[in-house]
Structure 1
């Protein structure tokens, strides 16, 4: 059965384009223009993913995201992709840790949105995994500070291990350099953004030694880094 997508967008022209592209890709879609209509509609129409504009009449996308992540009894929470027209809002969204699965800035390519939707939904199919293993075959042993991928020891330093642990805990989520620095250096030492970039470069090289055809850690221009599951 086709996945169900709710588009919450007050600009009808943008919503119309998204409706067309998502329908062509086999999704079932519905469109709402007001934020204060979302909760009541979802109570009777469960969906797999919500494309949620940040600035909406009636109720903001931030508040809707918080409410959806808080959950409702007997109703599974949908995946959420937040949409904003202001690139500077992305840092605020990340800082609030609202739990959105992805973020998109306007103007955007409809094809990119469809690709992002598919990626988020695909990650959702890997939600159940053994307790000692992350989706994609990554195993993290905190006692030994040891990470293995597809049965291969990655040979990580303590900082690289901590960095991978943070990224892999939330596949698809974008982490800013500041957030990664906080996770890597909990003693509040002062380090530069380039320090994070250097560790990412080394971590990528060690992963690609065992998965040369795939890039699991992606740079997101102006925002930070995200980890994607192996295909």
Structure 2
């Protein structure tokens, strides 16, 4: 991600398709990174341990670390509260905007990457913002503040239309079912080749879509 501003990216694929491995490979060298995993998976905990990431044990702990390191680098993993996770996302996005204010005011070049795994749980199609508009504002206005948001999901058809209609880049592995394929294609300007192709991709191959161009990418 070399853009002056941030990007919105979707990483999509069914379980075992290579989606998580690709995501971790892409994120490993990011210096200002927050990974939020709604599934609380062991694979992300291992990734964090193996790469010296800070594991925040609560929202308060996460906020403290972000505020203390707002002018520097941080690599953090957080498992949202099972009950209040979506409210926490609203509060986190508000904080991220504050952290990125120097970027917006052209006083800093430091960006912020927010990666959300199982994103359909964080920002679902129905009732996407029950606790406030923090996440919505991050989706629609965060790029100008150097905020990149990456959604990872097996179920793209269950993600809010706000994200799907604003996404810049799509990396899609094999998906399960026609509804998922249609949702992926819709994020890619209704590209028919993608709608057909994502159902038949080999494991660990993916289609990368950006700016109207589609590329078949072999396993990394």
Smaller-chain TM-score bracket? 0.3 to 0.5
* TM-score, length basis structure 2: 0.38
* TM-score, length basis structure 1: 0.37
Point out the structure with max Rg over C-alpha. 1
